[in-house]
Amino acid sequence: MQKGSNSTQFPLRICIVGAGLGGLAAALSLRRQGHQVEILETSQMKREIGAAITVQFNAMRVLEYLGYDPQNLQGVETFGTVRYSAVGGEGTTQPLLYKDPKERVSGLFTTGVPLEHTQACWTTLRSDLHDELRRLATEEEGSGPPAKLHLGTRVIECDPVEGVLKLKNGETREADLIIGADGIHSTIRTHVLGYEQKALPSGISTFRCLFNADKLDELPDMEWFTKGITGARIVLSPEERFHMLFLSPCRRGKIVNVVAHHTDDRDPDKHDWDQPATVEEVVEEFKTFHPRYLNFLEQGEQPILKWQLRALPLLPTWINGRTALLGDAAHATLPTLGQGASMAIEDAAAIGCLIPLGTQRADIPARLEAYQELRKSRGEYVNRASLEQAVQPAKRGLYGRSEEQQTFLMGYDAVQSAQKYFQEHFC
């Protein structure tokens, strides 16, 4: 039994603002503890299938704990990357340097993998992971009461100490715990901090799009992408001015994901954070690249979006009263380590483990202090390292070369760490 608890265990009322990956993972984590969870989402979640993400070992551990079905991710196993110069030539294979002690095989959809590789991360579409987390959080089947998802519901004010949300339609929600998982533009963050903190421009923007992998069958000189180790292809300009392609198969190899980072000299405050783009714009930006890479970029399909890459500065706190920030609302960063979604999923696991059924309303501030102690330094490490590896030429690609950094991030078990902390401090 927890310190200070009684024998009666009542579920807490929990409101999660935001139904992205972090918000849904938090809803699932807290649902499994037996709590009553509501998710308030501004959008109607009508979207394109979106970009791909890499699910690394630290996130895989949490997803296994949360009871996901890996087949629903429709992923492609990733054993490393191959790096190319933008001017052409042979690539350099960089296998994953972190070795999972369990030596597990994820059993997804791989062909032609060298036998010496016994484990993998994987690449999946963000929307496929999102759909799986939504299913687990909201469907009737599963542990605990299903979370209730309210779409088209905008939160405009938050009293973080009392646990009260005011909605745009005039309604209010009272909760024992509020989680701000409302992303880089977080409303809840403003109320937790007491002031508005915007994400700051990095000077880099990114084109993102997808296309059908069948298109590659009609193109010459595509072995650089289709042969060799299973994983992304990275094409980097040798010039100091940053231009980098991150190209990866997903959706069981049927779709190709294109991410094209580049230095952006525009005044970031005079342009939208994201805006439509054309294939011609992408090719023009990367016109100094070898023709085989330009042929690849020409296959892009609409929608093509150009995103400003921005990162939050380090925040003085993630918590206030009975309210906590999670995921991008707390530590939005650049994608250079591929750990943004993984950090949100880790956050969700930790907060669920620290607030089991039987937690009292009065216990919440102390549990959130524990959450911050467990998560803040790690989230900030990824935030800073991701930014450095984008804007400092000497550090570009460091994560792929550093066994120490991969082990620090991928070797972490968020569930085990939070459970251990709970046993040591609250039992």
Q: Each residue of 192-247: pLDDT tens digit?
A: 999 999 999 999 999 999 999 999 998 999 999 999 988 999 999 998 889 999 99
Assess whether pLDDT exceeds 90 at residue 388: yes
Set out the domains of the chain in order of their start, with CATH numbers. Answer: 13-50+126-199+313-426 (3.50.50.60)
When pLDDT is averaged across residues 241-260 and rounded to a whole number, the result is 95
For residue 303, whether the previous peptide bond is cis, meaning omega lies within 30 degrees of 0, is: yes
- 269-291 average pLDDT score: 94
**Residues in CB range of 371: below 8 A, 6 or more apart:** 318, 319, 324, 347, 350, 351, 354
The angle at the Cα of 96, spanning 313 to 55, to the nearest 5 degrees, equals 55
Task: Tell me the angle at which helices 340-354 and 57-66 cross, rounded to the nearest 10 degrees.
Answer: 40
Report the pLDDT value the prediction gives residue 273, as an integer from 0 to 100: 87
pLDDT for res 116: 39
The whole-number average pLDDT for the span 52-73 is 94
Angle at 104 (CA atoms; ends 99, 109), nearest 5 degrees: 110
**Is a pLDDT exceeding 90 seen at residue 269?**
no
Neighbours of 237 (CB within 10 A): 18
Question: Which SS3 state, helix, strand or coil, does residue 417 take?
Answer: helix
Q: How far is CA 308 from CA 202, 206, 269, 276, in A?
A: 8, 6, 10, 12
Half-sphere CA count of 139, side-chain side, radius 13 A: 9
Average pLDDT over residues 164-179: 98
Q: Where are the alpha helices (DSSP H) in 203-243?
A: 223-226
Percent of the chain with pLDDT over 90: 84
The phi, psi pair for 180, rounded to 5°, reads -90, 100
Per DSSP bridges, beta strands 76-78 and 80-85 are unpaired
- At residue 261, the pLDDT reads 96
Taking the C-alpha atoms of residue 391 and residue 336, their distance in angstroms, rounded to an integer, is: 10
Tokens linked to 56: 């690394």
* Band (94; pLDDT cuts 50, 70, 90): very high
Q: Report how far residue 50's alpha carbon sits from residue 210's, in angstroms, rounded to the nearest whole number.
A: 8
Q: What is the pLDDT of residues 11-21, one digit of tens each?
A: 999 999 999 99
Q: What angle do CA 231, 233, 235 make, to 5 degrees?
A: 160
pLDDT of residue 110: 36
Collect all residues with Cβ–Cβ distance below 8 Å to 128 and sequence separation of at least 6. 49, 72, 73, 74, 75, 251
What angle (nearest 5°) sits at the alpha carbon of residue 267, between those of residues 262 and 271? 85
Angle at 189 between CA 332 and CA 35, to 5 degrees: 95
CA 188 – CA 177 distance, rounded (Å): 13
Residue 2 scores a pLDDT above 60: no
